[in-house]
Amino acid sequence: MIEVHNLTKSFGPHTALQDVTFSIETGASVTLVGPNGAGKTTLLRILATLSRPSGGTIRVGGLDIAEQNHAVRQCIGFLSHKPLLYEDLTAEENLRFYARMYNLGDIQERVETLLDRVELLRRRDDLVRTFSRGMQQRLSVARALLHRPQVLLLDEPYTGLDSDAVQMLLDLLQDLSSDGSGECTLLLTTHNLAQGLRTGRRVMILHRGRLVYDVLREAIDVTTFSDTYRRLTMRT
C-alpha cells in the first residue's frame, strides 16, 4: 500500500530525511518512533502530499504521489498536530462539512456512527471552541476516518488525551487493524513506546532522518525495547 524509495527532504542546508526506504503492505499497522527532530512529522506530511520530497519516489495504493497527488489524497486520512477543525461549528457540522467535501452518500449515518465511536455523540450540537484539547483530538480522529480511507496517517494521536480517551483510541485502532477486511493501513507516530508497541504490528525507529530499525512486533522483546531505542537514538 505504501512504497518509499530513497526518500530525501532538505530545508536549505538541513537534511530532514536521508535515503529513507521502506514498504508497508495493505492492512498492516506500523508504529514509527524517534526523538524530536528525527523527521517523523516531515515523513507523514510528505506521505499526505502536504510537503514535497527533495528526492526519491513514493507510491500510495499504487499511485505516484508526485504525479497523482489528488487521487492519493482521496485514499488518505491524516491526523496532524493541528486539529483542522472549525471552532465556530458544532462537532456534527464539522463532520458534515468534511463529508460533503468527500461526496459521501451516507452522511447522517456515518457522522453519527463516528461521533458515537469517539464518545462525542452527546456533544454533537456543541461548538468545537467549547471542547477541551482531548475532545478536539477525538473529533479530529473521527474527521480522519470519515471517508473510510485506505491509509490512515496519525501524527502523535494520543496528545492531549486522558487515560480513558487513550484506551478508546487504542481500541479503535486495533479494531481497524484487526477487523479482517484488510482495508485500512495504519502508520502512526508516537513518543510513547508502550502505546506504540500496543498499536503497531511492526515498529520502525527514525533517527536523524534515517531509518535505523524496522522489526515485526512479534520479534521484539518488549522488556528490553526501551534500551534498544535509547541505544539506537543516542548514536551520532
**Torsion 68-71-77-80 (CA) sign:** positive
Claim: this prediction has a pTM higher than 0.85: yes
Residues of the chain where predicted confidence (pLDDT) is lower than 50: 179-181
The predicted pLDDT at position 142 comes to 93
82: domain CATH number? 3.40.50.300
**Could you give the residue ranges of the DSSP H alpha helices within 77-186?**
91-101, 107-117, 133-145, 163-178
Residue 206's DSSP bridge partners are: 211
CA distance 159 to 33: 14
The predicted pLDDT at position 236 comes to 60
- 52 SS3 class: coil
The predicted pLDDT at position 178 comes to 59
Tell me the one-letter amino acid at 95: L
- List C-alpha distances in Å: 101 to 3, 49, 94, 111, 123: 27, 17, 11, 14, 23
pLDDT digits (tens, 9 = 90+) for 82-108: 888 999 999 999 999 999 988 888 899
DSSP 121: G
Grid cell, residue 69, equals 497527488
- 122 touches 99 (CB < 8 A): no
Beta strand extents in the chain (DSSP E only): 2-11, 14-24, 29-33, 55-60, 63-64, 76-79, 151-155, 185-189, 202-207, 210-216
The predicted pLDDT at position 112 comes to 95
CA distance 6 to 198: 29
**174: containing domain:** 2-233
Q: How many domains does the chain have?
A: 1
Grid cell, residue 232, equals 539506537
- 102 touches 176 (CB < 8 A): no
